[in-house]
Every structure is written in C-alpha cells, then in structure tokens.
A and B are shown apart, each in its own frame.
Chain A
C-alpha cells in the first residue's frame, strides 16, 4: 500500500477531523478558556488521531503484504481463500466471505473444465484408436493390390494417418499426464522408421537421403521423437524443389547434448517468417502457395520437444535450404520441465 494514496483515500476523515478541531477551538474560544489550554487540548487530540491513523495504516499494510506473499507463492492463485486465516473484524470478514464465494465458484468451474478436458482427451484417444483400424485395412488393401491408383490412395491414406497422429499428440499435450516414457534409444532406428514411413512418396519424387553416422544413443521417448522427426521430414517433402531433392541427416555430439540435424535443399523459409514457423496456426507464404498446410505440425514439434526437455531450432535461406536442429539431452538425469 502506498501511504500517499492511502491518505487520499481517507481525505474525508481528515477533513472532518480538521473541521471538528476548528469547531472545538471556536467553542473553547467562545467559552473564554485560556489559549494555553486550547493548544494542549488540540495537540493531544491531534496526537491521538495521528497515531491512530498511522497504526491503522501499518496494520492494513501488514495484512495485505501477508496475503500478497501467500498469493505469490501459490501456483493456483484462485485457491487463496482456502489458505488465508479467517479474519475477526466485521469489515474484513465481509470481504473474506465474498472472496470465499467467488473462489468456490471458480474452483467448481475449474474442476468441471478439467473433467471435461479429460473426458474429451479420452474420447480423442479412443477415436484415434478406432480410426486406425480402417486406416490399417485401407493401407493393407493398397499394399495387396498394387497399381497406380492404389499407390495414390495409399499416399492419401498416409496423409490422413499423419493428421490423425497430430490430433492424438495435440490432445496429449493439452492434458498434463505421463504419456511419455524416457528411455535409452538409438537414433538410427528412429530415423530409419521415419524414412521407411515416407519411402513411397520420396521414391516417387526421386528424392535422396544422405545419412551420416547417426548410430548414437540418447534418452527420449521413441514414439514422440519419431512423430517430431516425421513432421520435419514431411515438411521437407512438401516444400521440396522440383529436381535433385536431398535430405541430409547427421548427428553432432558433445558432452551434454546430441545434436540431430535435418537439412534439405528445398524452397527454404523467408527470413521474415523464420521466427514464427513454430507458432500455432502459422502457415507462411510457402504453406499458402504450395500445399495444404495447417500450421500445426511444427507447433506440435516445439511443444513436444519442450515437454521432453529437448530444444528445436530452425535455420534457412530462402530458395536454398532449411535446416532443423534438435538438441537431445545425452544424460538421463535431466529434469523434465513439468
């Protein structure tokens, strides 16, 4: 609390005290009481009033400081009324009761929404589970009846599958839960799986992949990392140039991190857009001009990386290349930021 403003708040009291003082002086004067006594009476009342004023400011200030301290330490600040002591004074009690009511309704709302969100997430999980069955059938049918048409259908189905996975990971991110499992993984396997997933479309587009010593161990969740890598490779395929498209995948290691680099010689990203590619819903000029783009893929990559304690960066030169770097912690003993 600021003293100056407090004084301003209490200006009515102060003015009425001054008026009261003047009236007293006037009466005492009229009653012909000696000047000395008037000065003593007025001084005493002033001292009492002033100390009272200061003490009340001090007390109120202390109470608020206290509450402020508590609320600063609280994660969920709307729980404040559950924690502060019930006041005894009538005025404070009134405020306390109002706060309590407001907080109670807030808590109910929050619990409601949390439950809804949980149910929704569970529904999404089971929906994804269900829809993967027809997707599997369709893919097998294409595989068993290979021709130009089923090849194209297979590509489309794979795209559907990717969107379905995005939904699943999006739902998982929104819910704080331990869906991931950090364990020792070999990057080579993850990279191999992702390339095999996109093999067909890459061969059809006459693309090349150049892989450099990625036989290395790191700690992460294999499925999540595979999803992240898949989004990046899909982007490289989407935004490739017409000829000689190559993707380079390499690893650099230092004592703390494994640096996984995915570089392509595709369309690249405008300098002005580079800072925003990990934003939700951002579909730069590439996304708008070339292919359907939702602006979700890279956003999910960034969020998933953060959850896993990894970092992701992008570098690009328009018309030349795009390079995505993922920093994966090498040691198991890192803190997962949750």
Chain B
C-alpha cells in the first residue's frame, strides 16, 4: 500500500482529505506540528507528498527545496493560489505536479495515481480478470470463454471491466456512467443501455447468456 503524507494547515481539509484518500486505498500520514516539517517527512519515508504552499513557519516552497536536497520523493503542490507564476515556481523548485484548490476529486485521485505509477512503475494492477470461467483480457481488449474470443471496443471494455471489478454486487446505472466519465467516455443513460445491449450480444457470441442481470430500478449485476 502506498503511503501518502499530507502537509496541510487547515484542519478540516486535512482530516477530510485523509478520509478521502484512505477510502481510495492509501495509507495516510498527517503533519500536525509545523516545526521541522521536512525532517518529519523524511523520517516517515512516504511514497508521495501532498504539500500546501501557505503554511505556518516555512512555506511549501521552502519545504520542497529542503526535501529535494535529500530525496526524490514525488511531491504534488496543493494550493488555492491560482496563478501561473506560482505554478511555475512550484515546478522549478522540484514539485512534480500542481493542483488547485478546490480540487476536483476525480482529477486529484487521477493525478496521485498517475504520479505513483510513473515513479514506482507499478505494473498494471491486473491484466486479466476472471469471473465464472469468463476471462477479460484488458491488454488485448478481449472477452474469452472456453475457446471463443471476442474483441471489445474501448467503451465496452471499460464497462465490462467495471462490472467484473464489482462482481456479485448491484451497481447502479449512475455509478457506471460516473466511472465511464472518469475514463473519458461521456455517455448518457440511453448510451449505457446501448452499451449493455451490445455487451450482451458479444457475450452471446462467445456462448455466455444471462451474465449481466438487470435489477429493476437498481442497476446491473454480474
């Protein structure tokens, strides 16, 4: 599990950010004492730092350059300063990314994930998912059942992936649409129906029937 350090002086934001990131599966460390922040950070050895710029005692810029003198831990500046010059300064001083408050949650999570993947070159979490002898090959974008294979489009693959990930659970239509939007597929309710219909056809073609169940008024389930 990745350990993320939050350096943020506003208590409310700090606590809520902690909950948010914990819910996304990260281990969180907080700084509450703003003396010798850089030392505290280096002792904890986090995988990533979310660093505010306006802090008591030393500014985020100073902390960043102190850390950079000793370590290459990825740093994301998180600040309400919305100014190109501030951003430039943050990057020049060794920050890896710069996110503005109020952050959009999907964007924040995506940037954190991207940076972690880039730095720690984590392999694709899984390249194949399996459920009831049906295999979803993500790299090849294929559905496999016994000897039968079927290619999927990007939209179909993403939808199928989300269903596989949440197998045995009922997922609401908005939940799927929400996930698709995060993956740059901006579908509405009708489009989702079309996607599901097509997925059922694909499944039929490889000999699987009734995998995707419709739960009236609730959503879908596999």
Contact = CB atoms under 8 A, between A and B. Distances in A.
A144 B181 contact: no
Given A133-B80, A180-B84, A193-B104, A140 B181 contact: no
Interface string B63-83: 000000000000000001111
B186 A136 contact: no
Contact of A136 (B88, B103, B189): B103
B109 to A, nearest CB: 10
Contact of A137 (B16, B23, B83, B187): B16
A135 B84 CA distance: 21
Contacts of A202: 181, 186
Interface in B134-190: 174, 177-178, 181-182, 184, 186-190
A103 interface: no
Given A140-B13, A143-B20, A144-B19, A203 B80 contact: no
B105 A143 contact: yes
A206 B188 contact: yes
A141 B88 CA distance: 30
A136 B13 contact: yes
Nearest to A205: B188
A196 B107 contact: yes
Contacts of B43: none
Contact of B102 (A139, A179, A181, A203): A139
A207 B189 CA distance: 8
B39 interface: no
B91 to A, nearest CB: 11
A200 to B, nearest CB: 8
B212 interface: no
B178 A206 contact: no
Interface string A232-255: 000000000000101000000000
A180 B188 CA distance: 36
Contacts of A38: none
Contacts of A221: 84
A193 B110 CA distance: 11
A209 B20 CA distance: 28
Contacts of A128: 80, 82
Interface in A173-214: 179-181, 192-193, 195-197, 199, 202-203, 206-211
**Contact-residue bracket for chain B:** 35 or more
B189 A206 contact: yes
A145 to B, nearest CB: 9
Nearest to B81: A129
A144 B23 contact: yes
A199 B174 contact: no
A266 B216 CA distance: 31
A276 interface: no
Interface string B91-129: 000000000011111110000000000000000000000
Interface residues of A, number: 40
A217 to B, nearest CB: 18
B102 A136 contact: yes
Contact of A133 (B10, B83, B106, B191): B10
B12 interface: yes
B1 interface: no
Contacts of A244: 190
Contact of A196 (B20, B80, B104): B104
A132 B88 CA distance: 20
B17 interface: yes
A223 interface: yes
Given A137-B13, A140-B16, A203-B181, A197 B82 contact: no
Contacts of A293: none
A196 B182 contact: yes
Contacts of B82: 128-129, 132, 165, 168, 223
A143 B15 CA distance: 13
A144 B20 contact: yes
**Ranked 9 nearest A-B pairs via Cβ:** A209-B186, A140-B16, A132-B80, A181-B84, A208-B188, A136-B102, A137-B12, A136-B101, A135-B102
28 contacts: A125-B83, A128-B80, A129-B80, A132-B82, A135-B101, A136-B13, A136-B80, A136-B101, A136-B103, A137-B10, A139-B103, A140-B13, A157-B102, A179-B84, A181-B84, A195-B186, A196-B104, A196-B107, A199-B106, A202-B181, A203-B174, A203-B181, A206-B188, A207-B188, A208-B188, A208-B190, A209-B186, A244-B190
Interface of B: 10, 12-13, 16-17, 19-20, 23, 54, 80-85, 88, 101-107, 174, 177-178, 181-182, 184, 186-191
Given A179-B83, A180-B84, 12 more contacts: A128-B82, A137-B13, A144-B16, A144-B23, A165-B82, A168-B82, A195-B181, A199-B182, A202-B181, A203-B178, A206-B188, A208-B191
Interface of A: 125, 128-130, 132-133, 135-137, 139-141, 143-144, 157, 161, 165, 168, 179-181, 192-193, 195-197, 199, 202-203, 206-211, 221-223, 244, 246
